[in-house]
Amino acid sequence: MRSLILAALVCTTGLAWAEEPSAPVVADAAAPQVAGSLGATDDAITAKIRQELDKPTTLDFVETPLNEVIAYFADLHKIPIQLDSRHLEEAGVAADTPVNLHLSGVKLRNALDLMLENLDLAWIVKNQVLVITTRDAASEHLVTRVYPVADMVTISKCREDHESLISIVVNTIAPDSWGDAGGQGAVEYFRGVLVVTQTETIHDKLDNLLKQLLAPAAVTAREKAPPPREQIPQGARGAQEKAEAKVSASNSRSGGGFF
């Protein structure tokens, strides 16, 4: 009902949300944060980890124990990395499982994906740490981020065409992972941003998709903008609550949890 009232006001006054400046929304200091986030310090460390994930790395492993490989990456990229011992043990993956891989000049995130795929493992960023865990455990770790999409949303008869954008997202990226299909993921739109609750892997795919959808001029603007935030703008709290409600309902049905 609130959304309908807002839409009516926009049409009546002749104003359109997308006509507002498309600069990134500044998170309010009192805005709710993602579970596990501890404020500015946590954001800075997490941002450092994500920056390193996009930097090139080199690896040359021959029968190298997994724990030594992790120590190598942690030292090379100067970020905290640890094994999720409990879930790895439950899955029968030993810390000294041998790793064989030779790569050079690829992004750290891609190197980790290739290496861990052979072990049926995955990585997540949790509590200021890059964690190596099982695929099942990683699928239960959901993160909420905000994506500025004003440049991709068109205005038609005083209505923002965000529904088309959401449809592209949920039908292109892991369709079974979204709430309407029985998954745990959720996406809501609010005044030029998408509020998305999903796994690390899905967020990576979503970010790549949005970059491809942007026009060349918009790509330049987006590259200069801050990366997707894990703090929710105060004005988008309603969208966050909707996303979290969908995730909570899904968890109640599946009995899922993490750590």
Burial 138-147 (b: 16+ CB within 10 A, else e): bbbbbbbbbb
Query: Same structural domain for residues 175 and 243?
Result: yes
Using CA atoms, how far apart are residues 106 and 212, in angstroms rounded to an integer? 20
Instruction: Write down which residue in 90, 120, 139 finishes a domain.
Output: 139
User: Is residue 132 located within the same domain as residue 185?
Assistant: no
User: Is 213 domain-assigned?
Assistant: yes
Q: Does residue 126 form part of some domain?
A: yes
Let me know whether 160 and 191 are in one domain: yes
> Do 21 and 79 share a domain, yes or no?
no
How many CB atoms within 10 Å of residue 202?
21
Domain shared by 201 and 80, yes or no: no
Residue 124, in any domain of the structure: yes
26 and 147 co-located in one domain: yes
Q: Considering its fold, how many domains does the chain have in total?
A: 2
In a domain, 41, yes or no: no
Q: Which CATH number does the domain housing residue 66 bear?
A: 3.55.50.30
The reply to whether 158 and 246 lie within a common domain is: yes
pTM of the model: 0.63
**d(C-alpha 149, C-alpha 80), whole Å:** 32
From first to last of its 259 residues, what are the pLDDT tens digits of the chain?
434 433 332 333 333 333 333 333 333 322 333 333 323 345 789 999 999 999 999 999 999 999 999 999 999 999 999 999 999 999 999 999 999 999 999 999 999 999 999 899 999 999 999 999 999 999 899 999 999 888 777 655 445 678 888 999 999 999 999 988 888 899 999 888 899 999 988 998 898 888 888 754 455 555 656 666 665 656 556 666 666 666 666 555 555 544 5
Q: Report helix, strand or coil for 110.
A: helix
How many whole angstroms separate alpha carbon 131 and alpha carbon 112?
11
Domain boundary among 139, 157, 177: 139
Domain residues for the domain of 51 are 46-139
pLDDT of residue 234: 60
Tell which of 139, 166, 195 closes a domain. Answer: 139
Count helices and strands in the chain by DSSP H and E runs: 10, 8
* Residue 40 lies inside a defined structural domain of this protein: no
CA distance 108 to 50: 10
Question: Which of 129, 145, 126 shows the shortest CA–CA distance to 202?
Answer: 145
Same domain flag for 135 and 150:
no
